[in-house]
Structure 1
Amino acid sequence: MTRIPDDLDPELVARLVESGGGALTQKMGIEFLELSAEKSVATMPVEGNTQVIGLLHGGAHVVLGESLGSISSAIHAGPGRYAVGIEINATHSRSVTSGVVTGTCTALVLGRTLATHEIVIRDDEGRRLSTVRMTNMLRDR
């Protein structure tokens, strides 16, 4: 069950509930467990998200990271504002071939116009698989 802060923008909550986090998020099997500007957590199955030799695809790591970073930034932006990704990078430290991975998104900078998050993706044993860093520009509608 996703923990959503009580003071979250109702329009953002409605979009998240209606879309399940978006079409790509659904296709990847991403499930949000906790959502806030400061810290968000989600899981994703390895199965169905592998590349040709059976490893979790590097792009899947980035999709999980961007999903968390974008939503956390949108929460920080608040009502009447939105977040647009302007930079993302990933360092892959370890591979995985099965199980579920967990992404934990932590705010590094929460400013008025920019939000930067670090997303650490770990395997079932808690080993770091990758580190994703994302910066979003916050804009008025």
Structure 2
Amino acid sequence: MNHPVTDPNLVLTEQLTEKLGIAITEWEPKRLVGTMPVAGNRQPYGLLHGGASAAFAETLGSIAAVMNAGEGRIAVGLELSCTHHRAAREGLVTGVCTPLHVGRTTATFEIVITDESDKRVCTARLTCVIRDAPPGAKG
């Protein structure tokens, strides 16, 4: 059986990420990249919803945290902050997640979301707590 941390297809199946249309395009512990369509993730004014950007950022950061946590460890979100710089109205946005700190018990990541013109839409920071996986848990 494939481990969900090493198989991006398992991580994204039947989850919020699937509903948002998130796809992982680069899968490394030091750089995780994904895309998300604006269509289907807009707020009433036709702009990319800030909550969709936040869910996108947390998805990328959480996956990266688990990848960096090590065998038999899990990561859960502790704090997420997002600064929304500009609107995205169409196309795909791309998120690039890089570690700022990876320790034994916490990990913090910066997630930069840009539009198709490479203009910054959102900057997010996610801190996760890293713990030993409980018996029977995936992680």
Correspondence for 1:33: 25
Matched, 1:59 2:60: no
Question: Which residue pairs with 2:93 in the alignment?
Answer: 101
Distance 1:46 1:63 in 2: 13
Q: Helix, strand or coil: the match of 2:65? A: helix
| Shift, 1:96, TM fit | 1.0
Q: Does structure 2 retain, via aligned residues, the 8 Å contact 1:16–1:22? A: no
User: 2:63, 2:14 → 1: CA distance?
Assistant: 11
TM-score in terms of structure 1 length: 0.88
- How many residue pairs match? The answer is 132
**8 Å Cα contact 2:111-2:124 kept in structure 1:** yes
Equivalent in 9, 12, 25 of residue 4 of structure 2: 12
Shift, 1:15, TM fit: 6.6
Decide whether aligned partners of structure 1 residues 63 and 110 sit closer, same or farther in structure 2, where only a CA change above 3 A counts: same
Q: Distance in 1 between matches of 2:124 and 2:13?
A: 19
Runs of 4 or more, structure 1, over 6 Å off, are: none
Partner of 1:6: none
Partner of 1:128: 120
Residues 6-49 of structure 1, C-alpha deviation per residue, up to 9 Å, x if partnerless?
Answer: xxxx5234674335255100000000011222110000000000
% same residue: 46
- Partners in 2 of 1:34 and 1:108 — Cα distance? 18
For the aligned residues, what is the CA RMSD? 1.5
1:74 is matched by which residue type in structure 2? V
Conserved 8 A contact 2:5-2:67: no
Structure 1 unmatched runs, 5+ = 1-9
